[in-house]
Chains A and B, each alone.
Chain A
Amino acid sequence: MSQEPNAISTVLSASVHDVRDLAAMLRGLSFSSAATMSIQPAGVEVMVEESRCLIGTAYISAEMFDEFQFTPEAPSESQNNEVNESQGDDLVMPSVFEIHLPSLTESLNIFGTAGGLSSAQMAKKRWSADAGSDDEPSSTTTRRSNAKIVDLNAQGRLDQFFQPQNGEVKKTSLRLSYGGSGHPLTLLLAEDATGPTTTCELATLQPEIPSKFPYNEEEILVWIIMPSIGLRDAISEFDPSCDTLTIIVDPNATQTPSLPALRLQASGVFGSTEIEYPNHKNVLETFQCQERVEFRYRLNIINKTLRALQSSFKTSLQIFPDGLLRLQFMMNTSRSKKDGAFIEFRCLALDDEA
């Protein structure tokens, strides 16, 4: 598409021919209605917060777009006083604003072709903010198993073939632009050249001061990398009445193969469920842990990450001192997996007194 006449004053001008991947990334954070968007030369970060104990960030790199032009705004006085965390050589101020996330995700799906559930299924489902509802059909019925589970419908791959009867898989294309502080975020969406076009302007607000859950890489206690399927089936096993998730990681399992290396225990008023993972190569790809570690988390908070987990193919789980849990979900994108599109969550552990 040709440049707009006022391209010089545009902070962001980006386009993508299929919004599916972008929509999938945003869906992982859809439990929150407010999100902070940070537009940088490297791409867009979308951050959400929950109950001051969970931060979720979707890293949407510029490579996920067909076109991505970012012209930084002149920094305002208040921004000049802040230390910039950007990694660029020059001090490039990202453009940061708050947006209403459901408005953005609904707009991307205006023609019903942004992926996820088909429009027929969407019509039957209520929009559920609780990520605990398992709304993506899973073709696996195996429960706790060390065998490799083949999920034919992972990331909605099979769903792609059950599109509307006309047989074509339609895509929605997007042109995204942002004029800077005080301007709305503009979306221009179209399905094909002959079809309708939609123009949306989403109100942008001053961003809230974000919580930060810093960690020190050198103080890492646990690092596990595993295929997401193993975690996903396990977490959806948990009874909804459970309120606490205890994660126990034990390095002694490497000497004693029968001891589980990773244990997830969900407990509540009615009882508890425990899922165990041995340290086998096809269960846990990477396992790093020096000493036994045990921390508790609110299960309803962990459940917020389910949607992102369901759309990912690999999970990295890290635990830092005080139990800070860092989950990174590598998202399956229609482009190559090398895009490195991922969603990161940081979750605070429950204090023992609680």
Chain B
Amino acid sequence: MRFRASIENVPTFSKIMQSIEKLSKTCTIRLTEETIRIICNTANEGGVQVWSQIRIPTIFSEYRIESNANNEITLVLATEALLHVLKSAISSPEVMVKLAKRNNVACLSFDIVTQTKQGKKVQIAHDVKIVIMKPTEAELLKEPLCPEPDVHIVLPPLQKLRTVVERLRSLSDVVGIFANGSGQLKLAIQTERIKSDTLWTGLTNPVMREPEPAEEHDHDPEEFHAVLISARSLLKFLTAHVIANTTIACICARHCIILYVYIGSVGEPGGVLTFYLPAILDEDED
């Protein structure tokens, strides 16, 4: 089992880890010949899951991988540890990573070459402990099953959403996300003390796939589809504003909301981070 690469794009890698770090303490990284998948699916509070797929050239160069399992390696590590290393490497021109064993413990070994103010070269080494996952276990990793979404909508800039959700979180634990086929998005809360909704209009409803002819008549574009989400989980997701270029939200009413965060343009994405936020089920649904 061998893996070695040069990290070309530390800022992007760092921002991806930053988007994930608040949501999960550990993450699973699956390296293949073409892609790196970063998966957070441990049972954490809120049941939020992150599944991402990033093309190797987006982050790495001089990439070499070898294993008995179809040249794929799956490993588990602490999110914060990896983020910490990437942050310290953010301004270095040369960062190498490889699979290594130190004292019989598997780890990802990072070699960072950086310069002091005087111009002298300094080499820093970081070892992040990892646990290698057996191929049979790795095969069991599956994205959560979701029903067909009721509506797809391109979200306004996540930074803007974050400001509003920060305020809403101090007023309510639960936020309702409503979207319709006419480019409207609503974030709403309802408590004994306050009812509030914030409405965005003029957003785009992307066509994710060719619609069946029968469907077109059923759906009223003005009808809102909603899902109730934990305000804290939503706010943690919104940390992804650091990397998000375009974000598409797909609402499966009463089930979950799936958020596709595109790195780079939607047409030629360098990668996609997929966030699954489960719905909070309300007994007295209106």
Distance to closest chain B CB from A169 (angstroms): 15
Distance to closest chain B CB from A120 (angstroms): 10
- Which residues from 84 to 134 on chain A have a C-beta closer than 8 Å to any C-beta of chain B? 100, 102-103, 106-107, 109-112, 119, 122-123, 127
Determine if B1 is an interface residue (Cβ-Cβ < 8 Å). Answer: no
- Which residues from 152 to 178 on chain B have a C-beta closer than 8 Å to any C-beta of chain A? 156, 160, 163-164, 166-168, 170-171
Chain B contact residue count (CB 8 A cutoff) = 20
Contact A197 B166, beta carbon cutoff 8 Å: no
Chain A contact residue count (CB 8 A cutoff) = 24
Distance to closest chain A CB from B248 (angstroms): 18
Distance to closest chain A CB from B169 (angstroms): 10
Contact B166 A203, beta carbon cutoff 8 Å: no
| Given known A196-B156, A196-B199, A197-B199, contact A107–B193 (CB-CB < 8 A) | no
| Given known A102-B170, A110-B167, A111-B163, contact A203–B192 (CB-CB < 8 A) | yes
A283 to B273, CA, bound (A): 60
Q: Which of B167, B200, B202 has the most CB of A within 10 A?
A: B167
Q: Residue on B with the closest CB to A198? A: B198
Determine if B208 is an interface residue (Cβ-Cβ < 8 Å). Answer: no
Residues on B with beta carbons closer than 8 Å to the beta carbon of A184: 195
Contact B198 A197, beta carbon cutoff 8 Å: yes
- Which residues from 192 to 212 on chain B have a C-beta closer than 8 Å to any C-beta of chain A? 192-202
User: What are 28 A-B pairs at a CB distance below 8 A?
Assistant: A100-B193, A103-B193, A106-B170, A107-B196, A110-B163, A110-B167, A110-B168, A110-B198, A111-B164, A112-B167, A119-B166, A122-B166, A127-B170, A196-B164, A196-B198, A196-B199, A196-B200, A196-B201, A197-B199, A198-B164, A198-B198, A198-B199, A200-B194, A201-B194, A201-B195, A203-B192, A203-B193, A203-B194
A106-B167, A111-B163 are known contacts; what are 17 more A-B pairs with Cβ within 8 Å? A100-B193, A102-B170, A102-B171, A103-B193, A103-B194, A107-B196, A109-B167, A110-B163, A112-B163, A112-B167, A184-B195, A194-B202, A196-B156, A197-B198, A198-B198, A199-B197, A202-B193
The 10 A-B residue pairs with the shortest CB-CB distance, nearest first, are: A112-B163, A200-B196, A198-B198, A103-B194, A196-B200, A201-B195, A100-B193, A110-B167, A106-B167, A103-B193
